[in-house]
Amino acid sequence: MAVTALTPGPRAHGRRGGRVLAPAVASCLAAAISLAACGSSGGDGSPAGADASSAATAKTVHVGVLQLASATVIDQTVAAFEQELKTKLAPRPVSFDVKNAQGDQSLISSISRGFAQSDSDGVAVIGTPAVVALAQQTEDKPIFALAMGDPVGAKVAESLDRPGKNVTGSVDYVDPAVLLQSIMKITPAPKRIGTIYDPSNQNMQVWIKALRAAVAKYPGVSVVESTISGAQDVPSAARSLTGRVDAELIGPDATVLSALPVVGSAAAGGKLPVYVVGGDATVAGILASIGPDYPTLGRLAADAAAKVLTGTPAAEVAFGQPSGVGFTVQKATMTKLGITLPADLLSAATVQ
């Protein structure tokens, strides 16, 4: 804004019509008016400080999402995370950049590098190998692990209560001993329990070790293991169990869960009951799902993420943990296999 100061005075030089230009006064007055205008209000008449605060509140939060693979339970967990985070951070808008590695280790690595170098405010990850891969790429950007089995064992956290690093979120670990308490009540009780898993998945290393220990407590019961190196191996691994086991228990391996229809089909052909940890019990050939509610774990991870994105360091935000185990049974498979559930288990189960 240009300001011209006019002042009367017979002693002033350059007199013109009784008014003269006073340059020094004009300059000072212009500066004063300019400063007052800048400090008094925003464009809408509100205080400038309020404008700055409003701008900060309106700034979009950008969150990357890395899925190890596709599966109903994984998709549901991610959807619950996204919805809960939007609710927690409202009215700030949140955008999600979702990338799926489809169980491919090379894609996991490249997607991790991309997110580590991105300008995202944080990255949500589901699948232990993907969490570990991203944590190796960045120690600064916050990582929100969705339903991770063992963050401490995977060396991405020092403890569940105080992670100490840049990874927090939620955990889905359920001791196999708890699962067997239900499975061994079912008639007929299995003697040979088969399982399929990726041994490179640190979470599954812990889980399989615990399964072996839990099974050892039941005389005459053994574990038959079929390992994979990727989703492409699941069909052959599932077929290999036919004739070698009389029941299957699939752990929280995202790669195997992404191919659950293949597992269910092979099991149906061999008339084998299949129990999955937190998987989709409605998949053909699956008898039951035993484990935590995964959408709830997605929301628990969002709670942790919201704390980080509003200023609390990830190192200080505890992992959310499941409060119980649910049992969902597929009635059609139960009928086909002639499986009988004890009354107490059936009354507490969700039958689909």
Domain spans of the chain? 6-54, 60-172+294-316, 176-291+326-351
Confidence of residue 14 (pLDDT cuts 50, 70, 90): very low
Q: Do domains 60-172+294-316 and 176-291+326-351 have the same CATH topology?
A: yes
Find the mean pLDDT for residues 247-276: 94
pLDDT one-digit tens code per residue, 82-116: 999 999 999 999 999 999 998 888 999 999 999 99
The whole-chain average pLDDT of the chain stands at 85
Lowest mean pLDDT across 32-36, 164-168, 252-256, 290-294: 32-36
> What is the reported pLDDT for 278?
81
Question: What CATH number was assigned to the domain covering residues 60-172+294-316?
Answer: 3.40.50.2300
pTM to 2 decimals?
0.74
Amino acid residing at 62: H
Q: Which residues have a Cβ under 8 Å from the Cβ of 53 and sit 6 or more positions away?
A: none
Confidence of residue 138 (pLDDT cuts 50, 70, 90): very high
1 is written with which tokens? 């804004």
Question: What are the Cα distances from residue 77, in Å, to 20, 37, 58, 70?
Answer: 76, 51, 27, 11
> How many whole angstroms separate alpha carbon 143 and alpha carbon 168?
6
> How many whole angstroms separate alpha carbon 188 and alpha carbon 54?
64
pLDDT greater than 70 at residue 39: no
* Domain 176-291+326-351, second-level architecture: 3-Layer(aba) Sandwich (3.40)
